[in-house]
Amino acid sequence: MNSRAATVAGYLIGFALLFAIWHLASVFIVRSVLFPSPFPVFERGWVLIADGLLQESVWASMRRIIQGFLLGSAIGIPIGLAIGSFRPVRLLLEPWTEFFRFIPAVAMITVAVIWFGIGEESKIFLIAYTTVFVVVIATAAGVGAVGKDKIRAAQCLGANKFQVFALVALPATVPYILTGMRLAMANAFVTIVAAELVASNDGLGKMLWDARLFMQVEDIFVALISLGLLGFATDRVFRLLIRAFAGRFNPTM
């Protein structure tokens, strides 16, 4: 068996084990309607998929995550590059990043709702907010970590300042940027659920909240499993991306 098949098999067995333990715990230990076995949850999930309701919620949440995430990255990468490259910019903007990164996006939900209402804008703002600072910090750290000899070598080959930046500093920073984006993606999942719990018309967070209101315990678990699987899948995609782009950038990643 090759290592890829072994990994897939390992994951499948791992997940199966998780559900097995869950089933045993619900049937033999907890024995409460508040903690259903995975089977009714899967049944309920199937119904929700057949009705198209689950896809709707998943797509509503994912769309917000992707939009906010791309917006946040698009803002964060250039700022991170500027902070890492120019000392005055660093001195000017570091207080900002050091200040805002301690104000969690979850705490900004109220402000976001006041400013943008409970529609898409407030969600995208929050995801972008939570993404920006992680990406800025990772990118700036990446620029700072570019080996001195890499830059000197380029200078000795005749590179001007712009060429040093575009052909050396930028590509050398790509693995750091991707790693920052991966961390930001995990934050985005936390943020979107919190935001949709508080104020939203659709999405997985809203689904969780409604299910609680109407005591649809299975629905809660369907939403939780969906979040777990979505996060897992997104992270896998990112790891593949990092390996594809960064594998040859940095063999240690």
Partner 1 sequence: MGFVELDGVGMTFRGRTGAYEAVRDFNLELAEGEFFCLLGTSGCGKTTVMNMLAGFDRPTSGEIRLEGRPVRGPGADRGVVFQGHDSLYDWLTARDNIAFGLRLRSMGRGERRAIADRFLNMVGLTGQGAKHPSELSGGMKQRIQIARALANDPRMLLMDEPFGALDAMTRAVLQGELSRIWSENRKTVLFITHDIEEACALATRVGVMKRGPGGTLKAVVPIDLPFPRERTSDAFMACFRQVHALIHEEIHPHE
> Interface with partner 1 by CB under 8 A: which residues?
147, 149-150, 152-159, 163, 167-168, 171-172, 174, 248-251
Token pair for residue 73?
């990255």
The tally of CA atoms less than 13 A away on the side-chain side of residue 108 is 20
Cβ proximity of 164 and 128 under 8 Å: no
For residues 26 and 138, give the distance between their C-alpha atoms in angstroms, rounded to a whole number: 42
Q: Least distance (Å) from partner 1 to the CB of residue 183?
A: 22
50/157 with CB nearer partner 1: 157
Closest approach of Cβ 151 to partner 1, in Å?
A: 9
Q: Between residues 164 and 197, which has the closer beta carbon with respect to partner 1?
A: 164
Exposure on the CB side of residue 211, measured as CA atoms within 13 A? 25
* Least CB distance to partner 1 at residue 246 (A): 9
CB of 167 to partner 1, least distance (A): 8
Rounded to the nearest whole angstrom, what is the least distance from the CB of residue 162 to partner 1 in the complex?
11
State in angstroms the smallest separation of the CB of 69 from partner 1.
Answer: 24
Of 100 and 249, nearer to partner 1 (C-beta) is 249
CB nearer to partner 1: give 119 or 171: 171
Long-range CB pairs of 169-172, under 8 A, 24+ apart, other chains included: 169/81, 169/84, 169/85, 169/143, 170/81, 171/249, 172/142, 172/145, 172/146, 172/147, 172/249
Q: Report the C-alpha gap between 83 and 143 in whole angstroms.
A: 9
H runs (alpha helix) in the chain:
3-24, 38-50, 53-85, 87-100, 109-116, 120-144, 148-156, 161-164, 170-198, 204-213, 217-246
CB-nearer residue toward partner 1: 54 or 168: 168
Q: How far is the CB of 94 from partner 1 (least distance, A)?
A: 22
Nearer to partner 1, 88 or 251 (CB): 251
Is the CB of 31 or the CB of 148 nearer to partner 1?
148
Provide CB contacts within 8 A for 64, sequence distance 6+.
Answer: 120, 123, 124, 127, 192, 203
